Structure 1
Amino acid sequence: MAIGYLALVLHAHLPFVRHPESDYVLEEEWLFEAITETYVPLIQMFEGLKRDGVDFKITMSMTPPLISMLRDPLLQERYDQHLAKLEELAELEVEHNTYNGHIRYLAEHYAQEFNRVRQTWENYDRDLVKAFKQFQDTNNLEIITCGATHGYLPLMKMYPQAVWAQLQVACEHYEQTFGRPPKGIWLPECAYYEGLERMLADAGLRYFITDGHGILYARPRPRFGTYAPVFTETGVAAFGRDHESSQQVWSSEVGYPGAPEYREFYKDLGWEADYEYIKPYIMPNGQRKNTGIKYHKITGRGLGLGDKQLYDPYWAREKAAEHAANFMFNRENQIRYLHHLMQRPPIVVSPYDAELYGHWWYEGPWFLDFLFRKVWFDQDTFAMTHLADYLRAHPTQQVCRPSQSSWGYKGFHEYWLNDTNAWIYPHLHKAAERMIELAKGEPWDELSWRALNQAARELLLAQSSDWAFIMRTGTMVPYAVRRTRSHLMRFHKLYDDIKSQKIDAGWLEKVEAIDNIFPHINYRVYRPL
């Protein structure tokens, strides 16, 4: 009989990137890469587990921007074209490497993989949200929500209406998508501030996920640390991230993804192949980019890309099985020790970015597949669980006030507020003030109603924490700056048009077509609480 629980939680999120005004925008490929390398492999893994009678349990957040993009006909069509290019390139590589046995073997591996992706994509009529929902309906997958556009909530707490809009719009979007309200929420960047739980309760949410130190420094100090949830004074439960299990996967020093046998992410055919040969498969302007076809393995720590050896999926899969066994072994020992210490069933909450599994760590879905099977067949120390199921089975927990926290650098807000991105916040705050002002008024006709709702969309999109994050990382900074500015400029034009009661109908129609997220939004969500 199990004496504890393990809850795996994957955070599936991408910023809303959709550009019907352009034939090609590189950043749309963030979604396409995630579909090919993470979301479809996860669905295929779930299908295999169900087929083989493994009653797996896993939790995933699916953020509103991701859901909206996965169900957008324009992006679905563009992904079709993207995948067709991949299939064509893989087949060309098979033909091109007739006399290079190992490269041909790898090219055939990719050709088969892309073919399986195509089959899954078409089996669900290009609707991967429907695919994930079917596993929620069987209680194998618990899907939770997030902020409407992944806004960093502690940095907008001076405007409670703005925080409420992020929560309420997300919950409404979830219910429109899945036919029922969400039970839990992955707080954007796991960022919590004291008092947020009141809005979570008002939104009907049952629990949230925060970083471990948000629980460890709660008041009073939780008796069981992060190995049991705590109830806030509003009745909403808080689950804390387990450091030990997270480190085994996340750590750049000791984490599994750094094993020499695993695929090297940074050595891609798009940069390695002869230019004239690869030109049809890179950017239209001739710039090289990643294709997703990678022939080399990590090989060893500290090696240059030129010293990488050829990859072999067979040995990588064997290593993934070994790592899954090690992860399970460590969780068994951890849970036995905790159960002895606590004298009650502990829960180990292990949250990760979903894209780690497949996109960044190619073998990640294999690791999860092996882990679920080993947990089901090879041990009885712990059970996999959903967080909502755990709360239902264990309704009595300590009441505490969690500590302000995030899962970012140094554990608080520095990554989203620093010298690279601080300039955006006075503009976001000004826009929030103006949106709250607009929300107090009433539309005078259908056009003004549309303008008010579009203003709410533009503010939400400008608030995405992804833009500040990208500015801090130093990658794709011009795009993040451009997106922040464009949404703010659109918002302020809408504000001026509404205040003057002179709405530019043609311009509004164009903006509605570009930023078409949340078709059922009601701007009154910004009214004073």
Structure 2
Amino acid sequence: MSEKSTVPGQFTLVLHSHLPWLAHHGRWPVGEEWLYQSWAATYLPVAKVLRNLAAEGRSHLLSLGITPVLAAQLDDPHCLSGMHHWLGNWKLRADEASMAGNTALGAHEHRLATEALDDFETRWRHGSSPVWRELIDAEAIELLGGPLAHPFQPLLDERLRTYQLHEGLADAQHRVGHTPAGIWAPECGFTPGMEKNYDAAGISHFMCDGPALRGDTSLGRPVWDSDTVVFGRDLHVSYRVWSPKSGYPGQPYYRDFHHYDHASGLKPARVTGKTVAGPDKAPYDPELAAAAIERDVADFVATVRERLFSESERIGRPALVVAAFDTELFGHWWHEGPQWLDQVLRALPEAGVTVGTLADARDRGYVGERVELADSSWGSGKDWRVWAGDQVADLVDLNTDIVRLALDTLDKMRADQDGLRDPVADQLLRETILTISSDWAFMVSKDSAAGYARDRAHEHAHAVREIASAISGGQLAKAQRLAAGWAAADGLFPALDARRLGPALGGNDESGGGSLRNHAGPRGRRMDAEGPR
């Protein structure tokens, strides 16, 4: 026991929960089905794991980022109804698999569907906010917030950057009664100057990827001359779980994500081998998977312990190790992920590892010297190429044009109005922030449902253009009809109020407040008049 109790430092697990706005925008293969699959496979079981641990008196388990746009969907009446239907359909598909002769698969899926449906009907029918609030109030988790609709902030007009950040924090306060002190910035995107936005918004800490700190993630770092601290993802530890080439989910006994039984839509196979074709994969066996979980939990705990010892020795003081992942890895992508999460959060303290949140790390003094944090992200190349490279140049130009049009139109409307709230202005702004979501460029750059992503960006851009055109033409009744029509599909963030958008910035910015154009060099780096930062 003495060996276990002498592990120096702190381990922090950070999960980032995010999906773009999917409600009313297609169902299959991309659209609401993506939301319901993630909800069933990840959000329900992960919340259950955390709730069970909290019931045992465990606290400060992890930092959980929930983007406002995801929270909006998990509270939305249309999505709640659709999710309830989806869960019932899952149970029926499991029964059909059993009747078709695949009894093992059917029984496994029937049990999971039954548990999920019961959990949803008991705790989730009024939305996710009561679920998260319970965990926050119990101090089981630290809530991390973020900007409203997940923009890539380094490329974003400063007025919209400030607006989305402040409104995103306010949205969390409305939903769960807590204003996050920390955020997971979308895509971990950063450019110098953003730390001032964070300071002004009351953000005390945020995440970046390890390479942004040149791999030295053993302590948080105050950024430039601000009071805001950046914490870096430890890739050595994080990649034990999930990496581009290896990691636990790819092990032979875990359920294969890609292979479907097309008759039922269920996933019948285990990974088996990386070069084994789908039809040749072995049947999924939960007992074999359970044994693999135990091995990988033990491996992860040993990795964390070794890292805490080695990093503490290297820096001459107790070190911090932060492992960070998309929440959707746990369940949606990696079927056994919630089970692994449950076991590892129990095993780490048993092995003498102090577990805490990012807020704990700051409060406990795991903070080092200041860092002049440069342009960075957690995308390919750790620069901006995914969101500003050649593959998405058309989307960069689209975003530039739409932001300029929207801001110009909103400024003219403000000058002509009496100060009352205007649902037309609100919807114009709402469609603008949906147009510039970082997800569309990411999906195009990664060739993941790229057609859907481009369609979505152009659909929201079309909404902005036709509302703005009606306004500029003096057709106010038409603008009202158009705004109401688009709000039927895109009515998220009902508290969104265009009057809170800051006034036009002064200076020589010809775009009326910022432009995306000419910010991307050949490798996605930001370009200013003097060259790359």
**Cα distance between partner residues in 2 of 1:303 and 1:396:** 47
**Cα distance between partner residues in 1 of 2:380 and 2:124:** 40
**Cα distance between partner residues in 1 of 2:206 and 2:398:** 29
Match of 1:132 in 2: 132
Contact kept? 2:97, 2:105, Cα under 8 Å: no
SS at 2:391's partner residue?
coil
1:75 aligns with 2:79: yes
**Which letter maps to 2:429?**
A
**Cα distance between partner residues in 2 of 1:191 and 1:494:** 31
Contact kept? 2:183, 2:203, Cα under 8 Å: yes
SS at 1:348's partner residue?
strand
Contact kept? 2:59, 2:138, Cα under 8 Å: no
**Cα distance between partner residues in 2 of 1:79 and 1:366:** 23
**Which letter maps to 1:471?**
V
1:257 aligns with 2:285: no
Match of 1:389 in 2: 360
User: CA shift at 1:234, angstroms?
Assistant: 1.4
In terms of mean alpha carbon deviation, does 121-130 or 492-501 score higher? 492-501
Task: Identify unmatched segments of 5+ residues in structure 2.
Answer: 506-533
Match of 2:218 in 1: 227
**Which letter maps to 1:19?**
H
**Cα distance between partner residues in 1 of 2:175 and 2:310:** 41
1:324 aligns with 2:297: yes
CA deviation string 1:228-253 (max 9, x = no partner):
00002111000111010111112243
Contact kept? 1:19, 1:25, Cα under 8 Å: no
With over 3 angstroms needed to count, the CA separation of the structure-2 counterparts of 1:227 and 1:131, relative to structure 1, is same
Task: Identify unmatched segments of 5+ residues in structure 1.
Answer: 98-102, 218-224, 279-290
**Which letter maps to 1:186?**
W
SS at 1:227's partner residue?
coil
Match of 1:107 in 2: 106
CA deviation string 1:46-100 (max 9, x = no partner):
2332344444511111011100101111111111111111111112222332xxx
User: CA shift at 1:174, angstroms?
Assistant: 1.5
Q: 1:38 aligns with which of 38, 42, 45?
A: 42
**Which letter maps to 2:110?**
A
SS at 2:289's partner residue?
helix
SS at 1:474's partner residue?
coil
User: CA shift at 1:459, angstroms?
Assistant: 0.7
Contact kept? 1:54, 1:372, Cα under 8 Å: no
Contact kept? 1:161, 1:436, Cα under 8 Å: no
CA deviation string 1:19-71 (max 9, x = no partner):
18x78784111110001100011022123323444445111110111001011
Match of 2:528 in 1: none
In terms of mean alpha carbon deviation, does 438-447 or 32-41 score higher? 438-447
**Which letter maps to 1:111?**
H
Match of 2:204 in 1: 206
1:404 aligns with 2:403: no
Match of 1:302 in 2: 275
CA RMSD for the aligned pairs? 2.0
Match of 1:486 in 2: 459
Match of 1:241 in 2: 233
1:61 aligns with 2:65: yes
User: CA shift at 1:447, angstroms?
Assistant: 9.1
Contact kept? 1:9, 1:60, Cα under 8 Å: yes
1:281-430 alignment to 2 at 5 Å? 291=265, 293-376=266-349, 378-380=350-352, 382-394=353-365, 397-430=368-401
User: CA shift at 1:481, angstroms?
Assistant: 1.4
**Cα distance between partner residues in 2 of 1:181 and 1:37:** 27
Contact kept? 1:439, 1:526, Cα under 8 Å: no
SS at 1:422's partner residue?
helix
SS at 1:260's partner residue?
coil
Contact kept? 2:62, 2:142, Cα under 8 Å: yes
**Cα distance between partner residues in 1 of 2:57 and 2:183:** 29
User: How many residues are matched?
Assistant: 493
Q: Percent identity?
A: 27
Query: What is the TM-score normalised by the length of structure 1?
Result: 0.89
**Which letter maps to 2:20?**
P
**Cα distance between partner residues in 1 of 2:410 and 2:318:** 48
Query: What is the TM-score normalised by the length of structure 2?
Result: 0.88
With over 3 angstroms needed to count, the CA separation of the structure-2 counterparts of 1:395 and 1:56, relative to structure 1, is closer
SS at 1:226's partner residue?
coil
Contact kept? 1:436, 1:527, Cα under 8 Å: no
**Cα distance between partner residues in 2 of 1:119 and 1:443:** 53
1:520 aligns with 2:495: yes
SS at 1:350's partner residue?
strand
